[in-house]
Structure 1
Amino acid sequence: MTEPVPDTAGQVAVAVDVGGTKAAVALVDEAGGVYHHSAIPTAGGDGDSGVGLIDRVRELIAKVAAPYGLDRVTGIGISSAGPVDLTAGTVTPVNIPQLHGAPLLARLADLVPGRPTRLAGDGPATAAGEHWRGAGRGCDDLLAIVVSTGIGGGLILGGRLHGGASGNAGHVGHAPVVVDGDPCQCGGRGCPEAYASGPSMVRWARANGWTPQASADGVELAAAARAGDPVALAAFERAGRVLGAMIAGATATCDLRRAIIGGGVSQAGELLMAPLRRSLAEHAGLPFVARVEVVGALLGPRASLMGAAALIHDAGTYAVEGRVTATLVAA
């Protein structure tokens, strides 16, 4: 737990971030101050269902809000791995199969009767968070990318969060960039997630001769690459090149000014960013595409949590009803 919410905090929202590894909850004030942050593993015991996971999130919300008072918060903002179904208030995360179709929005909304509960995908929430309080401040046209267990993304266009017809716009991890490429767990082929997510990189490296010594995850792969392992280096080169091509395509489509790279894999720094920038330069032929700025995220793992808070604190910018977020006000 962090320090108590100060009396000067103004309005305070509950922010919830449901990801493939963990579900996090915090209280966030209007200035972006984070209080009482806590998290639980997404995976529970054997046979943990989507409803069981939501019940554990409800318990965590009650625990986090208890020192402040759940009756005092202005609402609940929810970021969840997607895709999302904003009409039904449900999610279908590729990496959380037990949550498919579970009533996430409705089950959390009844904790704050009479106040809004809003749901968005983690990619749009990350874009909102970085635009509100991070590396996207002052930029009206950007793509935020999360490179982690999966690859997500979200768009700010014209200074507002953009969700498209279903609220899933910016889902660049599943926008194919390799024709007839590797199968992806989403059911498609050639998706960036099949090449540049942490698990995909590790699978490719192991299939090509890399032998992990400990955790067999992206952190160990990055350490091996820094030590000069040629297969580990090739895995980052391969991932960076796919991401660079993806950013070029997204920029040509949306006329972006900035691409923000976050997520656990991005912590590898230049191992990923150097091949990404080379690939972007090679694929960006048009001047308006070539001028896109690539920067690292500033909010780290809290970007989507901060975006969840932004859905409540600045709904006019980040919660365009029926397009980017789903809103429910329980009786």
Structure 2
Amino acid sequence: MHHDLVAALDIGGTKIAGALVDGDGALFARVLRPTPAQESGERVMAAVSEVLDHLAASPLWPRVDAVGIGSAGPVDARNGTVSPVNIPGWRDHPLVDGVRRSTGTLPVTLVGDGVAMTAAEHLVGAARGHRSALCLVVSTGVGGGLVLDGRLHPGPTGNAGHIGHISVALDGESCPCGARGCVERLASGTAIARHAHAGGWRPRPGQDAGAAGVAAAAREGDPVATAAYTRAARALAAAISATAALVEIEVAVIGGGVAGAGEALFAPLRTALEDFATLSFVRGLTVVPAATGTDAGLIGAAAASRTLLRQDG
């Protein structure tokens, strides 16, 4: 029998997803549970265990040789703990130990969700074939991950590439992380909507009041909505250019809900990159939308597990 599948978990503030994933990123026996994010840490862990029990009941389970977890962060891969901002019951929660209670002796790998998405994009998405890439997840927050010298680079704790907390406005508004002017305070979907509302934009009846509604208005030429996306695009361009100057990336891949805005985001982003990415070795950088969609977390948790076990082994 082949031992060629990874049991993958994708854990976020709204859903806990699981699947058995092969080396090409194909998903089997997938399962989804809502995250009881406002309940106790034990209740959230019980939901994770239910997902694992569902996977273990699959006839394919005997082919599983590892477990890969991508979790909302911050995560601490060294200690196997997670403290997701949007799951208050989990603070330094021993997630890896909890997973091991369900999965026995299988090796377990933990990375942040931005690193998982990056692993997915490098395996089967828009970063495939590139030796160096930055991948960003722009949604309620802003996360990311790096591929350097052809390999996923999660860093010692599994958080490397967390671009949302690069400061791009030194006198900007304070961020819950403790710093000022973080990318996340300017470019997340939450920030885009907040800025548009502050400027007087209002959704039409029945229209989305969040970043998607702002994007629709920007596409129709609404100046306040356009300004909110331009501001977000400049923050992203500054952080992407800073990353490129530090580690020489070839491509920046942008996923997450806000990337769904399409040209409302990418047009001002390309313009802003011309302002920021001016050094000779940064100028060739391209910015492209992610290709793996909602399955990125699962594909990436498995891909990261394979990569990291190979590097450790």
Common topology (TM > 0.5): yes
Answer yes or no: is the 8 Å Cα contact 2:36–2:43 preserved in 1.
Answer: no
Of residues 136, 159, 183, the one that matches 1:192 is 183
Q: Secondary structure in 2 aligned to 1:288? A: coil
**Offset at 1:50?**
2.1
Of residues 24, 46, 61, the one that matches 1:31 is 24
Partner of 1:242: 235
Do structure 1's residue 263 and structure 2's residue 256 form an aligned pair?
Answer: yes
Q: Write the distance in 2 (CA, Å) between the matches of 1:18 and 1:91.
A: 10
Of residues 144, 158, 167, the one that matches 1:167 is 158
Could you tell me the TM-score, scaled by structure 2's length? 0.93
Of residues 53, 57, 61, the one that matches 1:62 is 53
Answer yes or no: is the 8 Å Cα contact 2:26–2:299 preserved in 1.
Answer: no
Q: Write the distance in 1 (CA, Å) between the matches of 2:31 and 2:230.
A: 35
Do structure 1's residue 232 and structure 2's residue 225 form an aligned pair?
Answer: yes
Partner of 2:99: 108
Q: Write the distance in 1 (CA, Å) between the matches of 2:76 and 2:146.
A: 18
Do structure 1's residue 120 and structure 2's residue 92 form an aligned pair?
Answer: no
Q: Secondary structure in 1 aligned to 2:212? A: helix
Partner of 2:292: 299
Answer yes or no: is the 8 Å Cα contact 1:15–1:76 preserved in 2.
Answer: yes
Q: Write the distance in 2 (CA, Å) between the matches of 1:320 and 1:82.
A: 23
Q: Write the distance in 2 (CA, Å) between the matches of 1:314 and 1:249.
A: 26
Partner of 1:285: 278
Partner of 2:14: 21
Opposite residue 236 of structure 2, the aligned amino acid is L
**Offset at 1:165?**
4.2
Partner of 2:83: 92
Do structure 1's residue 220 and structure 2's residue 194 form an aligned pair?
Answer: no
Q: Secondary structure in 2 aligned to 1:75? A: strand
Q: Write the distance in 2 (CA, Å) between the matches of 1:275 and 1:239.
A: 9
The structure 1 segments of at least 4 consecutive aligned residues displaced by more than 6 Å after TM superposition are none
Q: Secondary structure in 2 aligned to 1:32? A: coil
Opposite residue 211 of structure 2, the aligned amino acid is G
Range 137-146 or range 218-227, more displaced: 218-227
Do structure 1's residue 251 and structure 2's residue 249 form an aligned pair?
Answer: no
Q: Secondary structure in 2 aligned to 1:111? A: helix
Opposite residue 158 of structure 1, the aligned amino acid is D
Q: Write the distance in 1 (CA, Å) between the matches of 2:157 and 2:309.
A: 18
**Offset at 1:226?**
2.2
Answer yes or no: is the 8 Å Cα contact 1:10–1:30 preserved in 2.
Answer: no
Of residues 41, 65, 72, the one that matches 1:81 is 72
Q: Write the distance in 2 (CA, Å) between the matches of 1:112 and 1:164.
A: 25
Answer yes or no: is the 8 Å Cα contact 2:76–2:82 preserved in 1.
Answer: yes
Q: Secondary structure in 1 aligned to 2:68? A: strand
Q: Secondary structure in 2 aligned to 1:311? A: helix
Answer yes or no: is the 8 Å Cα contact 1:70–1:112 preserved in 2.
Answer: no
Structure 1: gaps of 5 or more residues: 1-6, 322-331
Aligned pair in 2 of structure 1 residues 219, 68: CA closer, same or farther (>3 Å)? farther
Opposite residue 229 of structure 2, the aligned amino acid is F
Range 62-71 or range 158-167, more displaced: 62-71
Range 208-217 or range 187-196, more displaced: 208-217
Residue-by-residue CA offset, 1:99-129 (whole Å, 9 max, x unaligned)? 2211111101222212111101111111111
Range 262-271 or range 13-22, more displaced: 13-22
Opposite residue 163 of structure 2, the aligned amino acid is V
**Offset at 1:95?**
2.7
**Offset at 1:313?**
3.4
Range 215-224 or range 102-111, more displaced: 215-224
Q: Secondary structure in 2 aligned to 1:96? A: coil
Q: Secondary structure in 2 aligned to 1:114? A: coil
Residue-by-residue CA offset, 1:27-77 (whole Å, 9 max, x unaligned)? 111221112223222245xx5122211210110221244232545421210
Opposite residue 184 of structure 1, the aligned amino acid is C
Q: Write the distance in 2 (CA, Å) between the matches of 1:113 and 1:55.
A: 16
The alignment-based identity, stated in percent, is: 46
